[in-house]
Structure 1
Amino acid sequence: MSDSESREFCPRCGDPVPARAKPLPGAPRDRDARLCDACYFDDYEMIDAPDRIEVLVCSGCGAVQRGNRWVDVGARDYTDVAVDEVSEALGVHVDARNVTWAVDPEQVDETTIRMHCQFTGVVRETPLEASAVVPVKISRGTCDRCGRIAGGYYNAIVQVRADGRTPTPEERNRAVEIAEAYIADRESAGDRNAFITEIEEVDDGVDVRISTTQMGQGAATRIVRELGGSVENYPTLVTEDGDGNEVYRVTYAVRLPEFTPGDVIDPDDGDGPVLVRSVSGNLKGVRLASGAAYEEPFEGTDARRLATRDDAAETTVVTVEDDHAVQVLDPETYAATTVPRPAFFDPDAETTPVVKTRAGLHLLPD
């Protein structure tokens, strides 16, 4: 077969077309591949740009409405929103390679930004340039999430209380911090249903109102995991949804332990007082008479509080009598008193913290 017989010609203008690699069997065939470069570029558009883009932005959180849902885009201002939306809307021809583009925003007024877009690419080994101007109209509204927050919406209440006492200010603050950190993590993961509606200080603790029951349970579980105690839930029927399903609001009652780290307690087991070190899980501490570790479940103890570490006083070490006893000055009477020598006591110390309770005088670890 001669070269003239094997040569292909442009079906539009009749000019010869350079031989091109044939598609593999089963691969899609491009009709435009038979055109010469001149005819191909007559109809070629490297980019597909909309005439105009309208964007609805939540004035509360900055989320952008896309279709029927709101999306957090993390934009710093409306120009960033416009750049993101134009990037989503622009289309680049599939045949273009090595495509680069730049955008020059022009602020027309407070709600209109004109985006000047410039593209470069390579098509059929030919460098091409293309440009487009896309006006972006910014409208402000309120997303579902911000609307719910403004309306005081919540489905869970985390009530932080304590057994036989009121939670300390430190416990209240830490419980709120734990709940806020948990909800912030859910927000960062893209959950737009995650929010705290209200934090209310009450006489016997703190109440945290949270968007969903699942997140209320998650916050309560994390509070108990760190601060100790237990949690029980109490559902209340509040309404029915459009499909007739019952909708419940759940109260998660967090009950912190009776004791807190720093309490000096008497477990009433004959081995003397214990300085509480942790209340997470079980009751954990150190025996003041021996320095031995102490751990018991809360359910199995009849302990009572004798004092707290804040009641301790620094006193003088008179003498170390032997491996089991040390003599110190009573901080109230200044009389030399022999007390048990625990393992945590430093025999070279000149002073040591002590606490005086109904069980007697005991050394405390530094």
Structure 2
Amino acid sequence: MSRSGEFCPRCGDAIEADLDARPARPGAEGVRDPDSVLCDGCYFEEFDLVEAPDRIDVRVCSQCGAVHRGNRWVDVGAQDYTDIAVEEVSEALGVHLDATDVSWEVAPEQVDENNIRMHCQFSGVVRGTLVSEEVVVPVKIARQTCERCGRIAGGSYAAIVQIRAEERTPTEEEQERAQETAEAFVAEREATGDRNAFVTEVTEVDEGLDMKISTNQLGQGIAKRIVEQQGGTFEDYETLVTEDGDGNEVYRVTFAVRLPRYRPGEVIDPEDGDGPVLVRSVRGNLKGTRLATGEDYEASFEDGDAPDARRLGTREDGQRTTVVTVEDENAVQVLDPETYEAKTIPRPDYFDPDADEVPVLKSRAGLHVLPDDGGETGDA
């Protein structure tokens, strides 16, 4: 290699390199990095291929497993934090700008539950020379409580969703379905990264179910979805609870969901002269099937969502009984399931003339054939 005519300012040796080919200071065009005037021996004497922190602390929530990054908590869904430690170390390491063809690998060593030792091996080409370096970075897993879990533990909430029913108490099934709806709605919001979405508390009361929800927007969305799925209506009521630091009024909102008067599967008598109705749907106005004829029934506009009617029983109250004979297209004779007397009752369209047994409901409105299980369609 030819001599450059320059001498190393540190050791005085002649520099056997082309100074013009050595790196310039980044961001300063035409200005050479001061270290570039050193000979290779002096340059590599203090050269560090990798710059690494003495230690990295990874803050994780001991309750939900979220990791604190920057100025916020992030849900990562990790079972352990080795991968998180690898990411944190990789982002914290710096490679010298003069190095080219850099390759590296990180090997974690689990010391204990909260400590990981990261062995980082780097190699690269500097001034035409292959150099390598290994650094060890300790990673400390600091277990804390994130803001979200802290709010849940503290019972924080902004809205209440109440589950009630018109002229009755919601069934256990309806309450469970409402809670499942709320939890599914919250999970959808969490999946979008909304860490303010959570159900603080669910309480059974004599009238139904109360759910404390983190935000008013979330409470409204839950109430709306429950009504979409189970029918009924909801109203909201604001209550002033405090003022924030800027003097703005802070309200807590109660979303009162009122489920329909009747449930799918109930048998009611609108007392309009056409006989009992097996309720199929209560979303919107009530819809059902006439047990005497099998014809469709739908509550009229004057009745509102549902008519005033007597409750006669439910689909589950039906009993199977023997078909004695089919008299004609309008009547069938069956055995009374209690007295075992042969009785002639209306023959609805859904009655199977080849059936030996049929489900029937005995009530104060008389004895009526019920649809088989496949013939009833309730609310989804």
**TM-score for both structures, normalised by structure 2:** 0.80
| Cα offsets for 1:26-60 (capped at 9, x unmatched) | x9969789x89x96x95876644322212222222
For the 8 Å contact 1:10–1:16, the answer to whether it is kept is no
Please point out which of 328, 332, 344 is paired with 2:334: 328
Measure the CA separation in 1 of the matches of 2:261 and 2:333: 33
2:296 aligned residue: 293
Alignment of 1:43-58 (within 5 A): 47-58=50-61
Alignment of 1:94-113 (within 5 A): 96=100, 99=103, 101-107=105-111, 109-113=112-116
2:146 aligned residue: 143
**Structure 2: segments with no counterpart, 5+ residues:** 9-14, 373-380
For the 8 Å contact 1:46–1:96, the answer to whether it is kept is no
For the 8 Å contact 2:229–2:283, the answer to whether it is kept is yes
For the 8 Å contact 2:285–2:306, the answer to whether it is kept is no
Residues 1:267 and 2:270 aligned together = yes
1:350 aligned residue: 356
1:86 aligned residue: 89
Measure the CA separation in 1 of the matches of 2:149 and 2:318: 50
Shift in Å, 1:125: 9.4
Measure the CA separation in 1 of the matches of 2:131 and 2:296: 77
* Cα root mean square deviation, aligned: 3.4
| Cα offsets for 1:101-147 (capped at 9, x unmatched) | 2322241x554322112345678998765432111123232211111
Shift in Å, 1:282: 3.0
Q: Which residue identity is paired with 2:297?
A: Y
Task: Choose 65-74 or 155-164, whichever is displaced more.
Answer: 65-74
Measure the CA separation in 2 of the matches of 1:194 and 1:354: 47
For the 8 Å contact 1:9–1:16, the answer to whether it is kept is no
Alignment of 1:1-366 (within 5 A): 13=15, 15-16=17-18, 42=44, 47-91=50-94, 96=100, 99=103, 101-107=105-111, 109-119=112-122, 129-296=132-299, 298-299=304-305, 301-366=307-372
For the 8 Å contact 1:163–1:257, the answer to whether it is kept is yes
For the 8 Å contact 1:9–1:15, the answer to whether it is kept is no
Q: Which residue identity is paired with 1:70?
A: W
Shift in Å, 1:318: 1.0
For the 8 Å contact 1:114–1:136, the answer to whether it is kept is yes
Percent identity, please: 62
Q: Which residue identity is paired with 1:348?
A: D
Shift in Å, 1:290: 1.9
Measure the CA separation in 1 of the matches of 2:6 and 2:357: 102
Measure the CA separation in 2 of the matches of 1:256 and 1:122: 73
Measure the CA separation in 2 of the matches of 1:125 and 1:280: 77
| CA distance 1:30–1:200, shift in 2 (3 Å) | farther
Measure the CA separation in 1 of the matches of 2:6 and 2:333: 110
**Structure 1: segments with no counterpart, 5+ residues:** 21-26
2:377 aligned residue: none
Measure the CA separation in 2 of the matches of 1:106 and 1:15: 45
Q: Which residue identity is paired with 1:308?
A: T
| CA distance 1:159–1:54, shift in 2 (3 Å) | same
| Cα offsets for 1:233-291 (capped at 9, x unmatched) | 11101011111111111111111111111100123333321111222333222221222
Measure the CA separation in 1 of the matches of 2:186 and 2:153: 17
Number of residue pairs aligned between Structure 1 and Structure 2? 351
Shift in Å, 1:83: 2.5
SS in structure 2 opposite 1:321?
strand
For the 8 Å contact 2:86–2:106, the answer to whether it is kept is no
**TM-score for both structures, normalised by structure 1:** 0.83
Task: Choose 237-246 or 113-122, whichever is displaced more.
Answer: 113-122
